[in-house]
Amino acid sequence: MSAPTARAAAERRLYWAFADCWTIVRRDLTHLVKQPANIAWQLGFPIVSVLLFVYVFGSAMDVGGEGSYRDYAMPGMFAMTMAFGFMNTAMLVAVDKDRGVTDRFRSMPMARSAVVSGRGVSDVFGAALDLAVLALIAVVVGWRSDGGPLATLAAFALLLHLRFALIWVGVLLGLLVPNQEAAGGLFALAFPFGMISSVFTPPSMMPDWLGAIAMWNPVSSTANAIRELFGQPGTTGDSWIEQHALLMAVVWPIALTAVFLPLAVRRFQRLSR
Amino acid sequence: MNTPEVAVLAEGLAKRYGDKRALDGFDLAVRRGTVQGLLGPNGAGKTTAVRILATLLRLDGGRAVVAGHDVAREPHAVRRRIGLTGQYAAVDEILTGRQNLEMFGRLFHLDGRRARARAGELLERFGLADAAGKQVRHYSGGMRRRLDLASSVLLAPEVLFLDEPTTGLDPRSRNEVWETVRDLVAGGTTVLLTTQYLDEADQLADRIAVIDHGRTVAEDTPDGLKHGIGGDRVQVVLREAAELPRAAGIVARVAADGAAPDTDVAERRVGVPVTDGVAALTEVARALKDAGIGVADIGLRRPTLDEVFLRLTGHRTAAEETGGAGTGRTYGTEAAA
């Protein structure tokens, strides 16, 4: 094969990697549109939490510092919703694997990367939609960002950044679980991951060992960073990790992606074993 | 051996999972334009073989060529020429039938217009035109399988792999799927079919390979396989058990290779293996009448594929165990004899 044709072949492959990815994304977005109830289910937990923590426990909560508990909890809720998102990814991956759809894709002359990349792109779309709905509800209960428009946008970007990193955790887990029923059990993993963090309470108020885990939880870094960007009361801790929340809200997801993206891709390739 | 007449060739395929040998020197050659049945007990390696040939699994040893391309070296070229319908209808439940076919068409790299046109054609051809706009989760089992088959033949594949395509379907849906498969074969497609229903293999397959413990233990036409375990028998049921010795004498005259007739007093039955079934049957019927022996039933009995299967593998089929649909399936004493 001469050089120009090799290059043309490489270009074709690249073209189809994107085109096939887009076909899969369109499929997933059709799912979103045809099942609006799913969004309600996914947001059910954060919404109930908002109501519980703001109206039921809110008056009894004092996290120190100035500002209301609502303003402390709301950014936490955003971060938690992103953290739980990997369960949706895992569930959808497990359903496709269970039903043989993944095998059909793998038996077709499409770009194999599209199966994974398509999932990733649509999950970011889905997460943006989740965030928009949740932000609307937050505004309804009286929450406002006290940061500038740019800082506010940056905060939402950081949230999607975390969600993007967790896609690969979701793909990996979705491929690892034996079936879709087992994927439902992943909530047992998501719950502590979302909750042992600064989402609802400052880690400084937890027992030392638990507080240390919570502080270093990537969800905490994102929650603390967006509190800073929203100009809202944050954790009062003075540990290194809490002092560098903005930096870590960028670094943590990159690190997670660096570890879990290759693992997910390897797991996908090992379906051939 | 890689002649253009051979659409699927497997030579000494090996696949291990830890200590377990899923495939252990599996051989197969499927002629172009024919239906090859692949039978075997659960865990014999049928699905593993299909998954290797359809490029879903890597092989540990041996060689496989599908539609003229080596599955290990040129999987992409193979994928362009095959279709796969697995044990579950691998279609999207949320999309409509039409959206499914258009999506798979795009993923087969048809452009938008051709994907739409092809989806329309196939919906028509597979009897799904009326349900084209309905979400697949509202489809019946048979409709899902037909949509699944339609998705597999978007590119008019040279080779179609059907891995238990009618498992879990009612008899009517099964017939619909069979009709569809026959149509595809008439159009020149080569089919490799695994099934647990032996009547399905009998109905569809030109040749059948029986696989057990990861290797082929027999390969022939359905008739050839049946013949191989004993061929036809003439069987007579008498009105009076007392006449059995005389009847046995008459029946013995047509026996193949001087085989002795076996009699079952309780059933008032006498039978013998024969070579030319129809001639033997006529002769016995006439002789019994001439001798004035009262006959309750007389017939030519051919071993069923189930008996072949039982003889070759020592297993009954899962379909039989679960009481699955089948026609004229009897486990006579001959099967164990």
* ipTM (interface predicted TM): 0.86
What would the mean pLDDT of B310-322 be, rounded to a whole number?
A: 60
Establish if B331 touches chain A: CB-CB under 8 angstroms: no
Q: In terms of CA atoms, which chain A residue is nearest residue B85? A: A104
Nearest-CA distance A199 → chain B (Å)? 35
- pLDDT tens for residues A2-43? 567 888 989 999 999 999 999 999 999 999 888 888 777 777
Instruction: Report which of residues B57 and A72 the model is more confident about.
Output: B57
Lowest mean pLDDT among A77-81, A269-273, B95-99, B322-326: B322-326
Q: Is the pLDDT of residue B128 over 90?
A: yes
B260: phi then psi, degrees, rounded to nearest 5: -80, 135
Determine the pLDDT at residue A44: 80
Class of the CATH domain delimited by B232-301: alpha beta
Quote the percentage of chain B above a pLDDT of 90.
48
Query: Which residue carries 């013949």 as its tokens?
Result: B227
Q: Which residues of A touch B82 (CB under 8 A)?
A: 107
Supply the pLDDT for residue B323.
39
Residues in B touching A108 (Cβ below 8 Å): 79, 104, 107-108
Cβ-nearest to B107 among A20, A35, A271: A20
| Contact status, residue B169 vs residue B145, Cβ threshold 8 Å | yes
Q: Does A36 touch chain B (CB under 8 A)?
A: no
For the ranges A55-64, A115-124, B181-190, B236-245, which has the lowest average pLDDT?
A: A55-64
Indicate the pLDDT class of residue B147, thresholds 50, 70 and 90: very high
Residue A172: pLDDT band with limits 50, 70, 90: very high
Q: Which residues touch A189 (CB under 8 Å, ≥6 apart)?
A: A173
Q: Is B6-221 a CATH 3.40.50.920 domain?
A: no
Q: For chain B, which residues make up each domain, given as ranges?
A: 6-221, 232-301
Residue B337 has pLDDT above 70, yes or no: no
End-to-end CA distance of chain B, in Å? 38
Pick A31's closest partner by Cβ from B57, B86, B94. B94
Please name the amino acid found at residue B142.
G
pLDDT of residue A205: 83
Inter-chain Cβ pairs, chain A and chain B, closer than 8 A: 74
H or E stretch covering B306: helix B305-313
Give the residue-averaged pLDDT of A123-129. Answer: 91
Contact criterion met (CB < 8 Å) for A101 and B90:
yes
pLDDT of residue B331: 32
CB A110 within 8 A of CB A20: yes
B3 — pLDDT class (breaks 50, 70, 90) = low
Whole-number average pLDDT of chain A: 87
Question: Which among A20, A35, A39, A107 is the top mutation candidate for probing chain B, defined by the most B β-carbons within 10 Å of its own β-carbon?
Answer: A107
Helix (H, G, I), strand (E, B) or coil at B125: helix
- DSSP characters over chain A: --HHHHHHHHHHHHHHHHHHHHHHHHHHHHHHHH-HHHHHHHHHHHHHHHHIIIIISGGG---SSSS-HHHHHHHHHHHHHHHHHHHHHHHHHHHHHHTTHHHHHHTSSS-THHHHHHHHHHHHHHHHHHHHHHHHHHHHTT----S-HHHHHHHHHHHHHHHHHHHHHHHHHHHHSSSHHHHHTTHHHHHHHHHSSTTTS-GGGS-HHHHHHHHHSHHHHHHHHHHHHHT-------SHHHHTHHHHHHHHHHHHHHHHHHHHHHHHHGGG-
Contact flag B84-A104 (C-beta cutoff 8 Å)? yes
pLDDT score of B134 more than 70: yes
**Per-residue pLDDT tens for B149-171?**
999 999 989 999 999 988 888 88
Q: What confidence tier does B70 reach under pLDDT thresholds 50, 70, 90?
A: very high
Chain A positions touching B92 (Cβ under 8 A) are 27, 101
Q: B23: which chain A residues are within 8 Å (Cβ-Cβ)?
A: none
Please answer yes or no on whether B86 and A100 come within 8 Å at the CB atom: yes
